A = this chain, B = another copy of it.
Amino acid sequence: MTMSTTSDDGEGKTAKRQSIDFKTLGPAIALLILCIIGFLLNPAFISEGNLTNLLTRSAFIGIIAVGATFVITAGGIDLSVGSMAAAIAGVMIIVMNNAVETLGTGVPTVLLGCGIAVLLGIGAGWINGALTTKGKIEAFIVTLGTMGIYRSLVTYFADGGTLSLNFDIRGTYRPVYYDSFLGLPFPVWVFIGVAICGWLLLNRTAFGRYCTAIGSNEAVAKYSAINVDRVKTLTYIIQGLCVSFATIIYVPRLGSASASTGVLWELEAIAAVIIGGTVLKGGYGRIGGTILGALILTTIGNILNFTDMISNYLNGTMQGLIIIVAVLLQRSDWKLGKN
């Protein structure tokens, strides 16, 4: 059994090579193993209820991670997504609560909130993008800065406490998180939609090709008539938009936002992206892998809630070990590729 070693853009027909591509299948295998472990620990793992919960939970991180795949593929990084989600959720709630008097507690108010969320996401993404490209500051620093800023803004808006959505609006908005369509909860549908759009955008459009080219070699991209600054800024805007979508389905879940909303989501999102096989230095992105990465992360958390064999304090240890092993698995045939 021979294995392919291309670290290529994963398109092209590689039919002639008959083999298991660990780079591509790695995340899938890791997820499968996790599911088997989950089932062995407790057969209820594969109950419909649990699987639905799992998918729904993955939706947040998954949607954000789809955006992160673009940013990372184009050679950037965005650390601000968690705080951005908190800030957007906060503003959304404030706006909707204030709109009750004029618009009532029905659908228009919710739509207004969602509209605001989308605008804020685009705006926040644009700020990150512009500071990185026009300001020529390293993305790491820009987004570390905006991370602090958004986080403290939400604390400020909430006056240190929690912003909560008006209870009547909650009634209108709740179904967005809790209801299902064809057996799948709405957040899962949104996730699927975002994933498909993301996949098409990255793999089937010129824009996606440009992201990859920029991440691979910025100078070449520039000489190939690509407007590097614009494409990079757009990746941040896509990231912002994904954060908006995640927030729109997050808010009806808990109906509130506070300084602790979305803490560490950035690391989870980036971890999902990289577990999925995207290269952190840019130039190679995989939306499918990202989705699997998000599912893997959620499943780890889910499994750890399934058993009390392990001290609660050691959850982090298990999580860390599983992540490392999952990636080790897919990197296991890398050696062959090198020279």
Contacts and interface: CB of A to CB of B under 8 A. Distances in A.
Interface stretch (A116-124, A155-163, A192-200, A234-242): A155-163
Contact of A148 (B136, B317, B331): B317
Contacts of A327: 137-138, 141
B271 A323 contact: no
A260 to B, nearest CB: 13
A111 interface: no
A267 B265 CA distance: 15
A131 B219 contact: no
A313 interface: yes
A145 B324 contact: yes
Contacts of A270: 140, 144
Interface in A285-319: 311, 313-317, 319
A56 B249 CA distance: 46
Contacts of A156: 311, 313-314, 317
A214 to B, nearest CB: 13
Contacts of A131: 324, 328
Contacts of A335: 136
A313 B274 contact: no
A317 B136 contact: no
A256 interface: no
Nearest to A322: B145
Given A146-B320, A148-B320, A149-B317, 10 more contacts: A141-B275, A141-B327, A142-B324, A144-B267, A144-B320, A145-B321, A147-B320, A155-B313, A159-B313, A218-B338
11 contacts: A136-B334, A137-B327, A138-B280, A140-B274, A145-B323, A152-B314, A152-B315, A153-B317, A155-B316, A156-B313, A156-B314
